[in-house]
Structure 1
Amino acid sequence: MNENFEERDEVQATVRRFEQMVASNESAFFDLAEFESIIDHYTTNTQYDKALQACEAAVAQYPFSTELLIDRAQVLAMKGEYTAAATQIEAVALLDPDNPDVAVTRGIIATQRGDFSTAVDFFLGAVERAPDRDDIFFNLGLAYQSWQKYKSAAKYYKQSLRLNLDNDVAVQELLYCLEVSERLEANLDFFRRFTDEDPYSAIAWYNLGQAYYRAADYEKAVSAFEYAILIDNKFYEAHGYLASTYVSQEKYQAAIEEFALSYEKDQPTAEALCNIGECYEKLENWTEARRNYQRSIDINPEMDEAWFGIGIVLNAQERWLEAIHFFRKATTLYDESVEYWLALAAAEYQLGNVVSAVEAYDRATQVAPDNKEGWLNWSIILYEQGNFDGAIDLMRNAVEVQPAEAELYYRLCAYLLAAGRYREAYEVLENALTLDFSKHRLLFDYFPELESQRALARLIDQYRK
């Protein structure tokens, strides 16, 4: 097996041993390097409370270790406890002023505080003292990314990966910066170079696969992930990404088989089972979809996607009353998903629960005011109840939020016509026709009887190119 993965397995085993110690409230011995790897594991996975807990346990065993005191300061900064972090690092600076990690930690605190220029200066100072450390370049990338200077961020993430190809977070952040700055296609060679230099590096093929995946070149992504798996068939993350690539190609059966290989034997993860459930859902195999979603929840009751998935399955079977329970649970676990609120609203409306449906649509438009479905579906309820003025006011709000969305203007025009407010309707229609003439058919989809209105036809003809 690839040395990187052996190392990763060792870290996982050490973390499990530490968590058993915490759970049983007993003391166990860990050497300094083990504590460092535990803390690093938690910070990489943004589990800062656990990272701080590991720092406290480590400092209790090794009270004079400057490395651990520095780790503690960095974790405090990541948790947003800047004053405590600054106090801690200044105490270390008195003991060891030339330690590059003092500058790194000051940089992390400045980044977290939003003082990006100062952060960059600190990190560049650290680079001068330790030019071969990938984590310093990674932090430079993060500072520039937080500053929204994506080109500079990408430059330093690349430097970080040249020194350590096995930093998956750096890969993800680099790909994000390249996407945001629309430079992904032009930078695929950066990832290809690593496979050219070492064709037997599973991680190089895996990273290249991720780059192709993000560039939506799914055929090449499949090939790259297959190479990674060929080199190391226990590369679970590569199996997971290959499965996701198959999902993007709508090859759901192939995806199911790969998701089932994305974890250790007989140790399925909640994420993998939820993904398998979604694939069965796409195949309309409701029984297997629900079974896998439920297994996902059994492992992790906080898995909002799985609760939502069962709701979707029940919804497809027109079992709306049961679906509502699962949709509501999903919104409780993750309140910021417009998809969850829209599904809940639609199910409530199917059962005639108008008040609950309106409340859910209201929440959907708060969560994602730029999602037109919430506004459109909410307005239909008001219109069907004969509340034309309410529907009109709602759509006026919608067009204020999304002034470039033609469909909202056409719907507003339809409601104004229904209310007999013709002059206003024609003004709105002119806006709609200017924005997107081709969508004028929507007006007649909403109200077929409007096709016979000559004044309307004449106005539309004036905008016909």
Structure 2
Amino acid sequence: MQCIKKLATVVSILSFLLVVKATEAAESPIILSQNILQEKLKDPNYWSNLCYLQQQAGQYEAALAACEQAISLKTRNPLYWADHAGVLLKLKKYPEAIVSADRALQFDKKTSLALSYKCMALNALNRNEDALDICNQALKVDGNWGKESPRLAWVHRGVILTQQDEYAQAMIAFDRSLLLEPKDSLTLAYKCYLFNKIEQHEQAIASCNQALAGNGNWGDKSQTFALANRAMAYTKINEFTVAIADYDKLLTLDANDYQAWAGQGLVLQKLNRYAEARTSYERSVAINPKYSLAQVGRCAMLNRSKQYEEAVKACDAAIAGDGMWHDFGAAQAWNERGVGLIGAGKYEDGLASVNRAVGMRTDYAEAWSNRSVALWHLQQYPEAMASTEKAIALNAGFAPAWFNRGRIWSKQQQYRNALIAYSKSLAIQPNNYEGWANYSVVLWHLQQYPAALASTDRAIALNMNAYEGWYNRGLVLTSMARHQDALKAYNRAIKINPQSAEAMTGKGLVLAKMQRYPQAIAALQVALKLNPNQSLAKATLKVVMQEQGKEKGSQE
């Protein structure tokens, strides 16, 4: 029995020891992990690596805190200060980034990473000369680059040189960057941007394609930068449908990109999709009311829809805006402003505005053409003709200048000269319904009635609601003694513009020719109510009243 008891005691002791060992084994990973964590928290490299990883993940505030923890543990490490500067750049805290870079350089003047970040911060502050010097210094010393490489300094050297219009040197810088990382998306996108600057748009498209297929490193940009530049290149080579597709992709990624909305508006405008263009410009303005390019585009679309007062306001907003313009700069806003004022009947003010435009850009054919319109309205025909000549000399293919030249000749009853001018305008722009309508009037004056009628048909085919087309059709048909058809044409013109005293006079005249005197008198009286100074209506009414009196007398 004692042996059994002793054995039981031994087993019990062994069991206890096993339980103790098992407990220790269960607790030891916890104790170990706590010890490791404590060691990590005291290791500046841990915090430095965490800073880098959080920065790569776009968690900049957390990255900044991690960098500062690394610095607190090892204050004199230049790379920790350089990384700190890099995070501050991401947060757009440029002066603070420069201070951190300078701290790094205090500890090691050959810290190329710190020099590169300082270059980038100075560039962001528009201190481009200083920035270029610092980037050059980073490459010259070729010191410690941390987790980066000289690619960083080369690409930003290229950016600064591009901004300074040193395009050849910028291209060399981008190519040096690509030697180090051939698939770097950011460098390829900047190279695309540079190709657009030097009007090599096919090469721009190729570079943007490479950027989008690259390594996905966009720096402080994103793939929208490549999409925007590719869309711009497609626009320049008149590949408008593809450009719109790129803008659609871009705006799907960033619906608040006001520059993309304006760029899309410009392409839609070139495609004569004016309602859509206006919508795109208005989306841009809603996001950034001070964006001059969008405001002037909106002004142009308002002019096209004859909302002249609103157009002038939009152009004024463009002039007071941020100064970001398209090809003709601020001259475009003064030109469109002039169009709005002329449309509103303020011819002197309109002339003053387009004079500002041609004063800013003497090579601006459209502004010279619009100047002729103001002068035409002011009956200053020689000066108006001179303006059209200037516009045509600058751009012989600018249809509106030929159109305006035709109007000036027509106003001076120089119909054969007017016919030549309108013919040239329509050869360039055959879908201009106003051109065909005006052409028909000149042919009517020359008594070429079948050709005049064909011209009104072209105008109406292009725009069924073209008042001028229907009115001129009535005029021609009256001269051809096709009174019933003329009456139908005048009725269509009146339906489109019920306030037209001229169309109502034409109706009265053709009714009189059809000897429908009571109806003729009624129409002519309406015409005079609309315009008491309508001389043809007055004269016709007098004749019709006499004829009606004779008819009554003969019946008695």
Whether these two folds match at TM > 0.5 is yes
Matched, 1:172 2:179: no
Residues in 1 aligned to 2:102 and 2:296: alpha-carbon distance in whole angstroms: 50
| 1:35/1:354 CA distance change after superposition, 3 Å | same
Report the secondary structure of 1:331's partner residue.
helix
Note the C-alpha offset of 1:272.
Answer: 3.8
Q: Report 1:19-418 matches (<5 A).
A: 32-40=48-56, 42=58, 51=60, 54-60=63-69, 63=72, 64=74, 66-76=78-88, 84-109=96-121, 111=123, 112=125, 113-114=127-128, 115-116=130-131, 118-127=133-142, 133-181=150-198, 212=206, 272=249, 274=251, 302=256, 304=258, 328=282, 330-335=284-289, 337=291, 340-342=294-296, 344-345=298-299, 354-364=308-318, 367=323, 368=325, 370=328, 374-418=333-377
**Deviation digits for residues 188-242 of structure 1, max 9, x if unmatched?**
7xxxxxxxxxxxxxxxxxxxxx75266xxxxxx6xx89999xxxxxxx979x97x
Note the C-alpha offset of 1:356.
Answer: 3.0
Matched, 1:422 2:381: yes
Report the secondary structure of 2:345's partner residue.
coil
TM-score by length of 2: 0.48
Conserved? CA contact 2:385–2:408, under 8 Å:
no
Aligned to 2:412: 453
* 1:33 counterpart letter in structure 2: N
Residues in 1 aligned to 2:152 and 2:275: alpha-carbon distance in whole angstroms: 52
Residues in 2 aligned to 1:184 and 1:387: alpha-carbon distance in whole angstroms: 42
Residues in 1 aligned to 2:177 and 2:334: alpha-carbon distance in whole angstroms: 45
Gaps of 5+ in 2: 1-45, 215-221, 425-556
**Deviation digits for residues 94-119 of structure 1, max 9, x if unmatched?**
43444333443454455452225522
Conserved? CA contact 1:138–1:156, under 8 Å:
yes
| 1:225/1:79 CA distance change after superposition, 3 Å | closer
| 1:401/1:41 CA distance change after superposition, 3 Å | farther
Conserved? CA contact 1:108–1:119, under 8 Å:
no
* 1:392 counterpart letter in structure 2: L
Which of 165-174 and 66-75 deviates more? 66-75
Note the C-alpha offset of 1:317.
Answer: 11
**Deviation digits for residues 57-82 of structure 1, max 9, x if unmatched?**
43236633643321223454677766
| 1:98/1:358 CA distance change after superposition, 3 Å | closer
| 1:271/1:455 CA distance change after superposition, 3 Å | closer
Aligned to 2:518: none
Residues in 2 aligned to 1:150 and 1:336: alpha-carbon distance in whole angstroms: 29
Note the C-alpha offset of 1:411.
Answer: 2.0
Report the secondary structure of 2:80's partner residue.
helix
Matching residue within 383, 394, 402 for 1:435:
394
TM-score by length of 1: 0.56
* 2:102 counterpart letter in structure 1: E
Higher relative contact order (CA 8 A, sep 6+): 1
Report the secondary structure of 1:403's partner residue.
coil
Residues in 2 aligned to 1:401 and 1:163: alpha-carbon distance in whole angstroms: 45
Aligned to 1:13: none
The RMSD of aligned alpha carbons is: 5.3
Residues in 2 aligned to 1:183 and 1:395: alpha-carbon distance in whole angstroms: 32
| 1:353/1:87 CA distance change after superposition, 3 Å | same
Residues in 2 aligned to 1:124 and 1:330: alpha-carbon distance in whole angstroms: 40
Q: Report 1:1-20 matches (<5 A).
A: none
Which of 151-160 and 55-64 deviates more? 55-64
Residues in 2 aligned to 1:246 and 1:407: alpha-carbon distance in whole angstroms: 24
**Deviation digits for residues 158-216 of structure 1, max 9, x if unmatched?**
2222222342111112233344346787xx7xxxxxxxxxxxxxxxxxxxxx75266xx
| 1:76/1:273 CA distance change after superposition, 3 Å | closer
Residues in 1 aligned to 2:398 and 2:305: alpha-carbon distance in whole angstroms: 31
Conserved? CA contact 1:344–1:360, under 8 Å:
yes
Gaps of 5+ in 1: 1-29, 43-49, 189-209, 215-220, 229-235, 260-269, 276-295
Greater CA radius of gyration, 1 or 2? 2
- Percent identity between matched residues is 14
